Structure 1
Amino acid sequence: MGNAGQTVTPNGVARRRPRPLSPLREHLRDTFWFAPAVGLVGAAVTAVVALELDGLLIETLQREGDYDTVSSLIDLADDTKSIITTVGSAMLTFIGVVFSISLVALQMASGQFSPRVVRLYVRSRITKCTFAVFLATFLFALLVQASYQGDTDPRTVQTVPFLSSIACVVMVMVSLVLFIAYVNSTIRLMRVSHVIDRIAWESFRVLDKHGAAGAEAPALGPASAEVAHRGRAGVLRDVNIARLVRVARRYGVVLRLIPRIGDFVVPGTPVLAVHGGTGPPPRALRYTVSVGVERTFHQDLGFGLRQLSDIAQRALSPAVNDPTTAVQCLDRIVQILAAVAGRPLGALRHCDRRGTVRLVQDLPGWTDLVDLGFAEIRGCATGAPQVTRRLMAALEDLTALAPEGRRPPLLRHRELLRQAVERHVREPADREFALLPDRQGIG
């Protein structure tokens, strides 16, 4: 599967265009305001519809002369009025509790794991859904309370909040279920093993989107023009592939993304090279490059390894001294690298509907990914035999899985690890023990 709705052939050519709204969808997932805002709007619309149905129900009963039923509905609404009032005040308390739990979870994640994993909490669907439903229930209860009338005469009353009261009670029940699910999800995300598993899952999702890349960059010839970045400075988060392919087809050129996803760009930095014709005007390339303050998973193939390496380094610091967490990170790093060991890496080519290459995007190579996964952990692991043993086992396993041409980086890291242990560990028996491969570290 290619990037967001496109298939990629083994030589790295994308045959189908990606979804046009893919970057927008990912950017909205990285925000926390969108889902609660949709919940508030939905609550207001639902309240208007429910109250309108209540008015039609009373009008129909009055037209048919069924005043006894109207009186029964009035009595029932009076009984539920206290429930709705209680719901309005209780939901505000629930919102405060959820907000407090979220702040504590964010602080713990940032301090104990890595600041990069905070976005996992921001992107959590259950957290956003819980906030949205709680706020929607609170607003809905307020609107229902405002609809109560003092008139109790079944002949003259205009509306009785019967259906809206039932809807409010249903929303409360849904809120309680979501609160239980939210607490369970937050507790799971506060455990490092689940955070590491979630990072690995996100990494494989990105890997499936990218599909296979060409082993070598396509022959494009010299660039006829370059397009400079005109926006603010920041990290290149992603590019709107569908729009770039459409612009390149319209002007009959091939565009090549110069920086990689995750690179820091400043105004004036060349971001696109034009091959085969005159460059498109700047107006046609607006909103094709997204720059932000931090990296995202959307199109960043190495961001998962970056987070796992950060968590492992923090776990190996003298202040934390948690080698078991570093071993868990190595387990997932090996899993990710094993998945890409046999895949072509290099240039990803995106085509238009006719199969013509219109956009070329560079991906990290095998050596880049191996260095990202092992270099910094290896430098911090010399005093932790549990980690060095697991690292030796990881390098041996990947050496056996990787093709012959991809083994040199692994052998290099193995030799560097051996040299580092020999320098820092004095006793020969301890050195031999620290360099013995063990998939569990130390049992």
Structure 2
Amino acid sequence: MRDTLRVQLWPLPTLGIALAVTAGVGLPLLDARFQSDMPSWLRTYLYSGTSDAARSVLATIAGSLVTVTALTFSLTVLTLQLASSQFSPRLLRTFTADRYVQTTLALFLATFTFALTVLRSVRSGEDGRTEFVPQVSVTAALVLTLVSLLALVLFLSHLAREIRVETMMNSVHSDADRTLHRLLPEKRDGLLTEKRETSSGDPSAGNPPAPPPPATPPEPPPNALTLPADTSGFLTHVDEAALLNTAIETDSVVLIDRHPGSSLIAGTPLGAAWPRSGEPFSPDTRTRLAEEVPEAVRTGTERTDLQDVAFGLRQLTDIAAKALSPGVNDPTTAVHALSHSSALLCEMVRRDLGPRLLRDDHQRVRVVLRRPGLSDLLGLAVDQPLRYGAGEPAVLARIAMLLREVAWCGAPGQHPPITAALARLRSVIDTGDLDATERRRLTGLTESVDEALAGRWAPGRGD
């Protein structure tokens, strides 16, 4: 729910309208109650015009703010269209989640609503009624108008910065980095090795024993119960608490074989379950698992970064692929997108990319949640730029440097996916339409990847 509201344009403006209505009704009441007792020094700073002038001011404020709000919405929609057509449709979430845009729209609509609401409380001295001008309320409307004008200038400056492709990629990178830190724990291999080394001496030295190595994820037996998805869409969220509770109460092990970001089709398997004790499931248990497990797996109409660690890479690869299209032909943007992808991949290889294991109180594995491995992530970042940029030496050179950087940051057990990607890169270089100088340079860069895999970093090989 929070993630859904975060990327919508209407929640903050709606809240602003509600607050403006409340203030527009309540503030004139306070005006009427305390206006006669107001200090004279304070009156000099408040609006002092007649009722007709107050109506004119409030009507002008309301009319101008409607125009400004329409302009703001038009510019926002134009920016969304530009981002969708020129870069990637998946970047729309970045713009709609922009708090600056949401706050600016909320301020404009709140000022408009406040001016209209206060306008109804202004009374002239006609028809025997007592003239009433809510001085504090009209002054507040004038202050809100000035703030709105300043916000409009800042909004235009912000929008001009946001539509730059470098700003977009930086926003995607920042969001993806936060997702990685939230979802992927850091590797403990180095910590475990250090503890084993320090505790290998005198056992009476007081060093704590090394923790056990991570458990190997259990694999489903041939007769495991297949669990079909009940809705179609992109897997956006897995309710881990509900899955763990179901697995414990049914004394089973549950495997969700699809990771967030995957496309699910109703009726097709999303995972499996099998009894922990080895005894066959009763019919009631089978029915319960078939009903409760799919309910804990939420789907949506689009991918989100709520639990999808690959979503940022998908957006960056979209930008690179769009930049390499014949209609855009901007290899420099593709190179910059690959640089951001390389930084994310280097952060990912320092973290645990294995399946997420949920355990019961006795530390027994009850739920296994699949996550994309390095092979999947590397293919996502490299395959499309490699295909569409096969004739661009700058793109091929950046892919080689990406593999070199990931190889340097990764552990030896992560080398096979890098080696496979390197083989694909070499095949493209060997069969591509390149001159001898370009081929020699690219061949040298691929050799630098081999050196990084061997733990060597030769200076000057990335030039």
**When the two structures are superposed, what TM-score results if normalisation uses the length of structure 1?**
0.81
Distance 2:375 2:428 in 1: 20
Instruction: Please point out which of 388, 391, 397 is paired with 2:396.
Output: 388
Partner of 2:202: none
Distance 2:4 2:87 in 1: 24
Are 1:192 and 2:165 an aligned pair?
yes
Residues 50 and 133 in structure 2, CA contact (< 8 A), matched pair in contact too: no
Distance 1:281 1:47 in 2: 54
User: Could you tell me how far 1:102 is from its partner in structure 2?
Assistant: 1.1
Distance 1:255 1:213 in 2: 25
Partner of 1:259: 258
Distance 2:155 2:294 in 1: 39
Partner of 1:27: 4
SS at match of 2:230: coil
Partner of 1:139: 113
Partner of 2:13: 36
Partner of 1:397: 405
Q: Which has the larger radius of gyration?
A: 2
Distance 1:440 1:186 in 2: 39
SS at match of 2:8: coil
- Shift of the 413–229 alpha-carbon distance from structure 1 to 2, 3 Å rule, reads closer
Partner of 2:370: 362
Distance 1:375 1:85 in 2: 59
Partner of 1:235: 234
Partner of 2:59: 85
Q: Deviations over 1:329-387 (max 9, x none)?
A: 11111100111112221212346789776643221111111111111111222211111
- Shift of the 255–138 alpha-carbon distance from structure 1 to 2, 3 Å rule, reads farther
Partner of 1:148: 122
Letter in 1 for 2:99: R
- Shift of the 383–272 alpha-carbon distance from structure 1 to 2, 3 Å rule, reads closer
Letter in 2 for 1:111: S
Instruction: Please point out which of 69, 73, 80 is paired with 1:106.
Output: 80
**Percentage of matched positions with identical amino acids:** 30
Partner of 1:126: 100
Letter in 2 for 1:34: P
User: Could you tell me how far 1:286 is from its partner in structure 2?
Assistant: 8.7
- Shift of the 422–253 alpha-carbon distance from structure 1 to 2, 3 Å rule, reads closer
Letter in 2 for 1:229: A
Instruction: Please point out which of 301, 325, 349 is paired with 2:333.
Output: 325
Distance 1:305 1:141 in 2: 46
Segment of structure 1 superposing worse, 429-438 or 277-286: 277-286
SS at match of 2:356: strand
Alignment RMSD, CA only? 3.5
User: Could you tell me how far 1:225 is from its partner in structure 2?
Assistant: 5.0
Distance 1:29 1:401 in 2: 34
5+ residue gaps, structure 1: 1-23
Are 1:202 and 2:175 an aligned pair?
yes
User: Could you tell me how far 1:244 is from its partner in structure 2?
Assistant: 4.4
Are 1:57 and 2:43 an aligned pair?
no
User: Could you tell me how far 1:124 is from its partner in structure 2?
Assistant: 1.1
- Shift of the 142–286 alpha-carbon distance from structure 1 to 2, 3 Å rule, reads farther
Distance 1:283 1:61 in 2: 68
Distance 1:146 1:98 in 2: 27
SS at match of 2:174: helix
Partner of 1:429: 437
- Shift of the 54–269 alpha-carbon distance from structure 1 to 2, 3 Å rule, reads farther
Letter in 1 for 2:230: R
Letter in 1 for 2:229: H
5+ residue gaps, structure 2: 188-213, 449-458
Distance 1:258 1:408 in 2: 22
Segment of structure 1 superposing worse, 262-271 or 122-131: 262-271
Q: Deviations over 1:45-96 (max 9, x none)?
A: 22222123223224x759xxx9xx8xx9874665543322211000001011
Distance 2:289 2:33 in 1: 57
Residues 52 and 124 in structure 2, CA contact (< 8 A), matched pair in contact too: no
Instruction: Please point out which of 325, 329, 342 is paired with 1:334.
Output: 342
- Shift of the 281–416 alpha-carbon distance from structure 1 to 2, 3 Å rule, reads closer
SS at match of 2:406: helix
- Shift of the 361–180 alpha-carbon distance from structure 1 to 2, 3 Å rule, reads farther
- Shift of the 287–408 alpha-carbon distance from structure 1 to 2, 3 Å rule, reads closer
Partner of 1:296: 304
Residues 386 and 441 in structure 1, CA contact (< 8 A), matched pair in contact too: no
Distance 1:326 1:122 in 2: 24
Residues 338 and 398 in structure 1, CA contact (< 8 A), matched pair in contact too: yes
Paired positions, count: 412
Residues 310 and 372 in structure 2, CA contact (< 8 A), matched pair in contact too: yes
Letter in 2 for 1:344: D
Distance 1:388 1:38 in 2: 50
Distance 2:306 2:162 in 1: 20
Distance 1:256 1:142 in 2: 57
Residues 54 and 122 in structure 2, CA contact (< 8 A), matched pair in contact too: no
Residues 230 and 267 in structure 1, CA contact (< 8 A), matched pair in contact too: yes
SS at match of 1:335: helix
Instruction: Please point out which of 5, 11, 22 is paired with 1:45.
Output: 22
Letter in 2 for 1:339: E
Residues 239 and 290 in structure 1, CA contact (< 8 A), matched pair in contact too: yes
SS at match of 1:334: helix
Distance 2:433 2:327 in 1: 21
SS at match of 1:360: strand
